[in-house]
Chains A and B, each alone.
Chain A
């Protein structure tokens, strides 16, 4: 059996709504957050978990971290059922909810960290070593004695991350961990997660809308929509499937060259540059390049794949999400 084994998981919520503005009573409406979700994750995997807003990502994370009880289906993590063996289960996992706070607002963050030390019964020496490691990677050394309320959003986020990793969990759920981080912190976070995964074999499930984080970290991606799994596999395979447009920008040695290109491509001229947008599935890149070379001497040439966010947006649209 896999480390994380999820079978036919279901979760419903009841939302109370007024039928129209004037009606006195509110009616209960069932929202199926998870309809029938199954997947497996092996120990040491780094998996990206994506989907549009309201797809059920956070519900999955909350069920797997033992907070919510599902309405149907089963899940085991390392042999334990999260919502039934809550205490033993949560000792081994770390969770980051990007939009919530775990550290204490009015006290220095170091105090919050020492509380976590006692909660997880981390030995003093191990705690110190780990804290050094984390505060270095997340650039927190100078902030340890500052109360949380005085930190900026990005600094707070880094401190929250540090808090979730202190007890060196074997499994890490990250729900939007890069909210509010600047580029330096974002890159540092990526490096750190990669290092954590490689060094300690930590299994990581990363939920985010930041596709660059996913692309940089996760070999495997799962796409969730309407409470169901729509895709599970390598990110490159996913991208290849929806990679429907690329842009070639080319500058010729001599001006005003008109290359003989296949029908149906969008061609536009911006100054000396010629911009050609094509679908690599219909017109192989090699063919496009060949016809450009025939037209004249090339001085500059760049090929840009579609922006990953556009690509994901196209995918969501096609999956009717």
Chain B
């Protein structure tokens, strides 16, 4: 077990080194956040919605702050698969799935925390109607933290499935472009899921993509009452388990049919 923890630590250490990427990411995400908020303010001015504007603004900031959790593939891991460096990992007495899961988890957690903390501090100091508002209740806040953690576990399981497909196709771009579209739309990054028609929301919030950030954000803003917490956490846990099982199955199948090209 210790080796999985060490992989996590090592990948975290590696991620912390990329401070330039962090700065660029923060500036980019703040820019997108401000544009989106300006857009929703204009929308609300002409046609007010049922959902309070402050909820939408908070939703946007939290989505932007944890953007890295959704869209970031480990370039080293993709390279390994493409160039055959994976051969080394195959001759280790560890579970390849678990090994890569920890890498992905470390990258997503460290990468997004490094960006989220400064960004949320920035967003907290913005004037009212532009900045992030405090959580609806202490219970909601604690539940949203737990949901964020489960969302992270869930998105890492999703990413590991993408990796399993990459092993088949060697180039991840095709699969990723498709999956990213799903990810961006169904996770609420492009348009907050809270603004979708109610009938759509009933379905979308059950899908795995809504478990990543949408669920924790709704608990934070109070859009979902703390009483709904256990049901949401159970749903997240269920998806995480299911996706991990699928990923594990795909990796084990891959391992049987592996070909390492080029000597």
Contact check, A13 vs B10: say whether CB atoms are below 8 A apart. Answer: no
Which residues 200-219 of A sit at the B interface, judged by CB distance below 8 A?
A: none
Contact check, A101 vs B14: say whether CB atoms are below 8 A apart. Answer: no
Contact check, A68 vs B3: say whether CB atoms are below 8 A apart. Answer: no
Q: CA A66 – CA B88 in complex, angstroms?
A: 11
Contact check, A107 vs B92: say whether CB atoms are below 8 A apart. Answer: no
Query: Please, which residues of chain B bring their CB within 8 A of the CB of A65?
Result: 91
Q: Which of B37-45, B48-56, B255-263 contacts A (4 or more CB under 8 A)?
A: B255-263
Mark each residue of chain B from 91 to 105: 1 if its CB lies under 8 Å from any CB of chain A, else 0: 111100000000000
Chain B interface size band reads 20 to 34
Known contacts A68-B258, A69-B258; 16 additional CB pairs below 8 A are A13-B259, A67-B258, A68-B259, A97-B87, A100-B85, A100-B87, A101-B88, A102-B85, A105-B76, A111-B10, A111-B13, A112-B10, A115-B3, A115-B7, A119-B6, A121-B3
- With A67-B90, A100-B84 in contact, is A119–B3 under 8 Å at CB? yes
* Shortest Cβ distance from B93 into A: residue: A91
Query: Please, which residues of chain A bring their CB within 8 A of the CB of B83?
Result: 100
Q: CA A115 – CA B89 in complex, angstroms?
A: 12
Q: CA A106 – CA B83 in complex, angstroms?
A: 18
Q: Does A90 contact B (CB under 8 A)?
A: yes
Mark each residue of chain B from 238 to 263: 1 if its CB lies under 8 Å from any CB of chain A, else 0: 00000000000000000011111001
Query: Please, which residues of chain A bring their CB within 8 A of the CB of B84?
Result: 100
* Shortest Cβ distance from A57 into B: residue: B263
Q: Report the minimum CB–CB distance from B20 to chain A (whole Å).
A: 13
Query: Please, which residues of chain A bring their CB within 8 A of the CB of B6?
Result: 114-115, 118-119
One of B17, B87, B93 near A67 (C-beta < 8 A): B87
- Would you give 11 A-B contacts (Cβ < 8 Å), ordered by A? A13-B259, A67-B90, A68-B258, A87-B93, A95-B91, A101-B85, A101-B88, A102-B89, A104-B76, A118-B3, A118-B6
Contact check, B256 vs A69: say whether CB atoms are below 8 A apart. Answer: yes
Q: Does A317 contact B (CB under 8 A)?
A: no
Q: Does B47 contact A (CB under 8 A)?
A: no
Mark each residue of chain B from 3 to 42: 1 if its CB lies under 8 Å from any CB of chain A, else 0: 1011100100110010000000000000000000000000
Q: Does B2 contact A (CB under 8 A)?
A: yes
Query: Please, which residues of chain A bring their CB within 8 A of the CB of B257?
Result: 69
Query: Please, which residues of chain A bring their CB within 8 A of the CB of B10?
Result: 104, 107, 111-112, 115
Which residues 110-135 of A sit at the B interface, judged by CB distance below 8 A?
A: 111-112, 114-115, 118-121
Among all A-B residue pairs, the 6 with the closest Cβ atoms:
A102-B88, A118-B3, A91-B93, A119-B3, A118-B6, A67-B90
Which residues 70-109 of A sit at the B interface, judged by CB distance below 8 A?
A: 86-88, 90-91, 93, 95, 97, 99-102, 104-107
Query: Please, which residues of chain B bring their CB within 8 A of the CB of A90?
Result: 91-93
Which residues 269-317 of A sit at the B interface, judged by CB distance below 8 A?
A: none
Q: Report the minimum CB–CB distance from A252 to chain B (whole Å).
A: 51
